[in-house]
Chain A
Amino acid sequence: MSRIVITGIGLTAPNGNNLLDYRKNLLDGVSGVQDYEIRYVGKTLAGICDFDALKHQNRREIRRGTRAGSIAIYCCNEAIANSQIDWGQVDHARTGIYLGVTEHGNVETENEIYELSQFDYDVSVWNHFHNPRTVANNPAGEAALNMEITGPHYTIGAACAAGNSGLIQGAQMLQLGQCDVALAGGVSESIHTFGIFASFKSQGALAQHPVASEASRPFDVDRTGIVVSEGGCVYVLERLDDALARGARIYGELVGYSINTDATDFVLPNPERQSQCVQIALGRAGITPADVDILSTHATGTKSGDIQEIAGLRKVFQGNSNCSVNNTKSFIGHTMGAAGALELAGNLPAFDDNICHATINVDQLDEECDMDGLVLNTPQTLESVDYIVNNSFGMLGINSTVVIKKFTA
């Protein structure tokens, strides 16, 4: 089986529009959560991205398309630029796009129904762009159109495990020989649908806090729930031989992954299945918990989710590992479909600087969220970083883990 490496990263996060700025803000403790207001729900909080959409699209294209499409276009173009691959020479028919999404179409449908309500529900004003905007492959399809990529493109619906799932799908397609360059990761436009806020609120799982930057607080006793965020992160993946042949900069090697399913509840997590997911990924990577240097958690800041996740992780790591444990959502909120990919990206520079970024906003650690190695509020410098494990879990009990190894030839 071919070895798969990461050779480019394009991202937009609520606290950075490229890897350098994003990483700097993670090390400096800078949150990207802001006050926000959305139709019907009113004042709330969100992670909002401020990337320049006009960098790769004109205003007509932006009007036609979706926010998820714009995020995908930005991230895919930036990833290709970052990879320094000679894009003009790359066979676009051998390039694939695989983007994870938590949901798609809610934003566009809500907007259309609101518009319809202004016309007394006369469906003759229903927008002719509704269908191309809401097809599930939209973000990947818009990126393909923008970049004239004619290889396979689609999205992977995997709730909040979608970012990891996109990455995994891209690697598999490279290993199957279906493409030579994979643009893989995840995107989210979820802050533009009131439904997601209202639903988390009805669940008692929507974060509230008088200070926006302190609202996302996984593991803290005063956590109140999820901060919904938008964002995107796309990796350029290549087979190792191809990457070496062109002298590519290699950010890391995907050496193990796993996706499994709880099959126990719509929303409540299952720590046993989560820990199995991690163990399967470690097994496939051929390593033990003792080999892991950084463990990036999924925790979203909900009362029960954080506790359940830590319970599952303790089973695998407690007493078996000296790994450092962090959480990126404490800075950027929950970027939904992008979360897995973005949270991994924020940790990858640790292969070079040996620093584990912190989990911020933990003023008082919930004892039930305690585990060995938690890096709280200030970054931690490690002796070396060879393996990063990144978890992302989602509703309907989907769990995902990826294991990235520092590249050595």
Chain B
Amino acid sequence: MTPAEIRDAVLDILDTINPDEDLSSLDDEKEFRDQLDMDSMDFLDIVMELRKRYRVQVPEEDYDNLVSMNKTVAYLEPKMKDISA
């Protein structure tokens, strides 16, 4: 997957978690928590969906890497580069 494809994959997960959220104006630099209605259970949901959809494991000590879109994509890139979109 390319970084753009990983971004789309994360967007799709965010849409699944909160279908009422408008993701079209998401600022990739800003933290998710500052622009989306998200709590700790939602972050666990992101981890779970990555595991289910792509078999990507995110250990607890790495959760801080999922705070914004840019950081998430950067963190996932090496883990998902060999996965086909």
Partner of B48, one of A59, A60, A64, A125: A125
B20 and A127 form a contact (CB under 8 A): no
Q: Which of B19, B45, B51 contacts A124 (CB 8 A)?
A: B51
Return A62 CB to nearest CB of chain B, in Å: 9
Question: What is the size category of the interface that chain B forms with chain A?
Answer: 10 to 19
Partner of A59, one of B20, B44, B51, B57: B20
Are A125 and B17 in contact (CB-based, < 8 A)?
no
Q: Is the CB of A59 within 8 A of B52?
A: no
**Chain B residues whose CB sits within 8 angstroms of the CB of A64 once the complex forms:** 41
Q: Assess whether A60 is in contact with B17, with CB atoms less than 8 Å apart.
A: yes
Who on chain A is nearest to B19 by CB? A59
Which residues of B are found within 8 Å of A59, using beta-carbon distances? 18-20
B18 touches A128 (CB 8 A): no
Shortest Cβ gap from A402 to chain B (Å): 39
Knowing A128-B41, A129-B41, the reply to whether A63 touches B48 (Cβ < 8 A) is: no
Q: Which of B38-85 contact A (CB under 8 A)?
A: 41, 44-45, 48, 51-52, 57
Nearest opposing residue in chain B for A58, CB measure:
B20
Query: Which residues B1-56 have CB closer than 8 A to chain A?
Result: 16-21, 37, 41, 44-45, 48, 51-52
How many chain A residues sit at the interface, stated as a range, is 10 to 19
A window 97-145: CB within 8 A of B: 119, 124-125, 127-129
- Interchain nearest-CB distance for A351 vs B (Å): 42
Q: Which residue of chain A lies nearest to B18 when distances are taken between CB atoms in the complex?
A: A60
Are the CB atoms of B17 and A128 closer together than 8 Å?
A: no
For residue A268, give the distance in angstroms from its CB to the closest CB of chain B. 44
A332 to nearest B CB, angstroms? Answer: 31
User: Which of B19, B21, B44, B57 is the one whose CB lies under 8 Å from A128?
Assistant: B44
Cβ A125 vs Cβ B51 within 8 A: yes
Q: Are A63 and B17 CB-contacts (below 8 A) given A128-B41, A128-B44, A129-B41?
A: yes
Say whether B52 contacts A119, CB under 8 Å.
Answer: yes
Q: How far is the CB of A132 from chain B (nearest CB, A)?
A: 9
Task: State whether A60 and B20 are in contact (beta carbons under 8 Å apart), knowing that A124-B51, A125-B52 are contacts in the complex.
Answer: yes
Residues in A whose Cβ lies below 8 Å from that of B52: 119, 125
Interchain CA distance A124-B59 in the complex, whole Å:
11
A128 to B19, CA, bound (A): 19
Contact partners of B45 in chain A: CB under 8 A: 128
Contacts of B44 in A (CB 8 A): 128
- Closest chain A CB from B23 CB (angstroms): 13
Which residues of B are at the interface with A, using a C-beta cutoff of 8 A?
16-21, 37, 41, 44-45, 48, 51-52, 57
Give 19 A-B pairs besides A59-B18, A60-B17, A60-B37 with Cβ atoms closer than 8 angstroms: A58-B20, A59-B20, A60-B18, A60-B19, A60-B21, A63-B16, A63-B17, A63-B19, A64-B41, A124-B51, A124-B57, A125-B48, A125-B51, A125-B52, A127-B48, A128-B44, A128-B45, A128-B48, A129-B41
A sample of 26 inter-chain contacts (CB < 8 A) reads A58-B20, A59-B18, A59-B19, A59-B20, A60-B17, A60-B18, A60-B19, A60-B20, A60-B21, A60-B37, A63-B16, A63-B17, A63-B19, A64-B41, A119-B52, A124-B51, A124-B57, A125-B48, A125-B51, A125-B52, A127-B48, A128-B41, A128-B44, A128-B45, A128-B48, A129-B41
